[in-house]
Structure 1
Amino acid sequence: MRESPDGSSGEPMSDPLDALLATRLAELRGEHRWSLDELASRSGVSRSTLSRAERGEISPTASLLGRLCAVYGRTMSQLLSEVEAEPDRLVRAADQTVWTDAASGFVRRSVSPPGAGLRAEVVEGTLRAGADVPYERPPVPGMEQHVWVLDGTLEFTVGREAHLLHAGDCLRTRLWGPTRLRCPGPGPVRYAIVVVRP
C-alpha cells in the first residue's frame, strides 16, 4: 500500500512494538499539553492521521515518526527506546530492536540503543531497491551523523546536495534541514549510521 502524503501507510498495526509506540505518542502529546490540532500544525501531519496513530489504528511510517520525532526533539532510537526496558550495556544481535516500515521498504535496527547520559547511538538501515525515505527536518538540529554503506548503493541527500555512496563509503555531516535516503538499486542497500546528539 502506498504511503499517504502525511506519512501514514493506512495499514492496521500487527506488531506489538507499534502498539507500544501508539501509547507513547499519545503520552508525549499529553506531556506537552497539545491538542491534536496543535500537534497537526506543528508536525504537518493531519489531525485524523495523528488520532489514528495514537489509537493504534494504523502502523506509523518512517516519515510520520520522523516528523513527530522532530517536533518532540527526539531521535527515532530515543523514541523506540522509550517503549522498551532500560537497555543493557551489551546488546546481543537477537535482542536489538528491529522496526519495519512496510510502506517504504525501510528496515531499521537499533544496534546500540541510546542510554541515559550517552550522546551517540548506532543504527543499521536496510532499504529495498527504489525505496525513498524523506525527512523534513532532523529530530535534533545540529545532530551529527556518520553514514557508512555496508552493502549496495545509497543516495543520501542533505539539503539540496545529493551524495551517491557505495559499499565502504562514509559520509559525515551535521543535520540542520531536510534529508532523504534513497536506494537507487539494482539491489537493496544496507548501511550503518552513527548518530551523535549535540
Structure 2
Amino acid sequence: MWDSIPNMRHGEDVDAAGAGPDPVDARLGVRLAELRAERGWSLGELAERSGVSRSTLSRAERAEISPTASLLNRLCGVYGRTMSQLLSEVEEEPALLVRAADQAVWEDRASGFVRRSVSPPHAGLRGELVEGRLAAGADIAYDRPPVPGLEQHIWLLAGRLEVTAQDTGHRLDAGDCLRLRVWGPTRFRSTGPEDARYVLAVVLP
C-alpha cells in the first residue's frame, strides 16, 4: 500500500541506473526556488529566516537531496503553507476525487515517517486529512508549526504514540484522539513494539 506510488521514494539522489533525481523531488525543488524568487530573497536571506543552511537550501532547490519532514516544515512556516498545500502545488493534475491507489505518498527515511495525503490536493484548502505512519521507536520533532495556531486532530489507529506540545506529553493508544492548537515545537514518538499509524486532520486557523 505504501509503495503504490514508486516515484515518491526518498533517501537517494539518483537511482541505481543513474537516471537522476526523483521526479517529485525535482518538481518540489523547482517550486521551492519559485517561492523564494517570488519574494525576492537570496539563499542567505532564506537561510536566516528558516534556520536552514544555504548549502542545504541550494541542494534542495536543485533536487540534489530529498528534503526531510523537518526541513519542509521549516520552509512551510516561512512560506505560510501547510505541508499538504506545498506538496499539492507540485501535483500535476489536482482532482476532486483521488482514489486510494493515487493518493500521494511521501517518505522521510531519515526519521522513519511515511505520509499519505488522503484529501484531494488543493492549494487553497483549509482542512485536510493525512494518514501517517511512524516506525516503531521512531522519533520526529518539529521546531515550529507551518502556520501558528494550526488545529490538529490526531486519531491513532494502531500502535502507541506519544505527542508532546507546549511541554506537555500525551500518550495515545489505538482508538484515542488528541486535539491540539499548535503554537510551538511538537514531537511525535512511536513508543510501542509496532508502527504507529494514525489519521491527522489539519485545519488552518
Give the letter aligned to residue 35 of structure 2. L
**Contact between 1:141 and 1:176, CA under 8 Å: does it hold in 2?**
yes
- In the alignment, structure 1 segments of 5+ residues that lack a partner are 1-8
d(CA) in 2 for partners of 1:69, 1:96 = 21
Which secondary structure does the structure 2 equivalent of 1:156 belong to? Answer: strand
What are the residue-to-residue correspondences of 1:43-62 with 2, within 5 Å? 43-62=50-69
Q: 1:6 maps to which residue?
A: none
Q: 1:78 maps to which residue?
A: 85
Q: 1:89 maps to which residue?
A: 96
Residue 133 of structure 2 is aligned to residue 126 of structure 1: yes
The counterpart of 1:187, out of the listed 187, 194, 197, is 194
The counterpart of 2:115, out of the listed 91, 108, 118, is 108
Q: 1:41 maps to which residue?
A: 48
- In the alignment, structure 2 segments of 5+ residues that lack a partner are 1-9, 15-20
Shift of 1:71: 0.8
Shift of 1:76: 0.4
Shift of 1:86: 4.7
**Contact between 1:77 and 1:113, CA under 8 Å: does it hold in 2?**
no
Percent identity (aligned): 71
Shift of 1:117: 4.9
Shift of 1:131: 1.3
RMSD, aligned CA: 1.6
Residue 203 of structure 2 is aligned to residue 196 of structure 1: yes
TM-score, length basis structure 1: 0.91
d(CA) in 2 for partners of 1:116, 1:73 = 12
Q: Deviations over 1:151-184 (max 9, x none)?
A: 1111111121111111100001111111111111
Q: How many residues align?
A: 190
Residue 25 of structure 2 is aligned to residue 18 of structure 1: yes
Q: Deviations over 1:54-86 (max 9, x none)?
A: 111111001110111111110000000000135
Give the letter aligned to residue 161 of structure 1. T
